[in-house]
Amino acid sequence: MPLDEFDLIRRYFTRATPGAALGIGDDAALIAPAAGLQLAVAADTMVEGRHFFAGADPYSLGWKSLAVNLSDMAAMGAAPRWFTLCLTLPAADAGWLADYARGLFALADAHGAELIGGDTTSGLLAMSIQILGEVEPGQALRRDGARDGDDVWLSGPTGAAALAVRQRYGELALAAADLAHCAERLDRPVPRVALGRALRGLASAAIDVSDGLAADLGHIARASGLAAEIELALLPQLPLDPAVQAVPGYDLARLAGGDDYELCFTAAPAERARIAALGAELALPLARIGAMRAGRGVTVRDAAGQPLALPRAGFNHFD
């Protein structure tokens, strides 16, 4: 028996929302941010064929569609609180919806984020989430706060998701264990929310790496009116068989692959000890990968200090 829209919402997406004054079920939800806090608002859409392959695992889609939004909260130093979900579905498949909802709520529950509303439509598979978080006025991690001489930091290795995509296109033949790691990073990224919260008052600027490390650091550089330099030798290696480092395009995947959802942030050199302690506390391999300088654009230097000649593809919005 086909499910109608109201059955769908009730069966898979209606949950208790103690953090909202009114949750799912009326024309709009009602929320009251804590006194004195600002609302941080972001939205992200994923479309089949553009952001994920046809036939993708629904649990992973549920997880990732929220993860990319939580990552934007992390990049702002905001605490995620509420989100809305707009689902466009080719058919109301009960098994698919149950798995999608499980993936979505697994991550939502881990971060105390409540689904308070949304919409369902029929059409090509797509999901759009708007998320709302809270942050203290003046404490949000913005892109425009980097200063000349600041260190550039990265919360973990980049490039795994891009390698998984290349393998799915038949361009690589990673060993099974390496592919499993890369596919996990692509399909179920872990948003660095606790890190983002802990960087309030410590980082001068931050962004989450969604488009590729160099391009996203370029956004910080442009917004801050500075140049950024990355030292390739300081970039964390992926925890894969070292042979993968010889794969053509390995460095390009780390610098421009995208879909990593690590945080890239800047901080004064005086904060190095505090940041190292924070990495130990959160069990994250925080790596200092470069510095902010006067000028514009992003430069990547090789081990000999020479600027790396990189293909233009993937780097068009460098500066």
For Mg ion, the binding residues (CB under 5 A) are: 72, 208
Return the ∠ at Cα 180 (arms to 280 and 154), rounded to 5°.
Answer: 35
Minimal distance, residue 30 CB to Mg ion, in Å: 27
The pair of structure tokens assigned to 152 is: 């550039």
178 vs 262, beta carbon nearer Mg ion: 262
208 vs 251, beta carbon nearer Mg ion: 208
Minimal distance, residue 73 CB to Mg ion, in Å: 9
3-state DSSP of the chain: CCCCHHHHHHHHHCCCCCCCCECECECCCECCCCCCCEEEEEEEEEEECCCECCCCCHHHHHHHHHHHHHHHHHHHCCEEEEEEEEEEECCCCHHHHHHHHHHHHHHHHHHCCEEEEEEEEECCCEEEEEEEEEECCCCCCCCCCCCCCCEEEECCCCCHHHHHHHHHCCCCCCCHHHHHHHHHHHHCCCCCHHHHHHCCCCCCEEEECCCCHHHHHHHHHHHHCCEEEEEHHHCCCCCCCHHHHHCCCHHHHHHHCCCCCCEEEEECHHHHHHHHHHHHHHCCCCEEEEEEECCCEEEEECCCCCECCCCCCCCCCCC
Minimal distance, residue 133 CB to Mg ion, in Å: 13
151 vs 208, beta carbon nearer Mg ion: 208
Minimal distance, residue 151 CB to Mg ion, in Å: 21
Minimal distance, residue 139 CB to Mg ion, in Å: 18
72 vs 229, beta carbon nearer Mg ion: 72
Minimal distance, residue 253 CB to Mg ion, in Å: 19
The residue type found at 10 is R
The pair of structure tokens assigned to 281 is: 């506390």
Minimal distance, residue 250 CB to Mg ion, in Å: 24
43 vs 86, beta carbon nearer Mg ion: 43
99 vs 262, beta carbon nearer Mg ion: 262
d(CA 205, CA 195): 13
20 vs 40, beta carbon nearer Mg ion: 40
14 vs 38, beta carbon nearer Mg ion: 38
In this structure, are strands 227-231 and 297-301 parallel, antiparallel, or unpaired? parallel
Minimal distance, residue 77 CB to Mg ion, in Å: 13
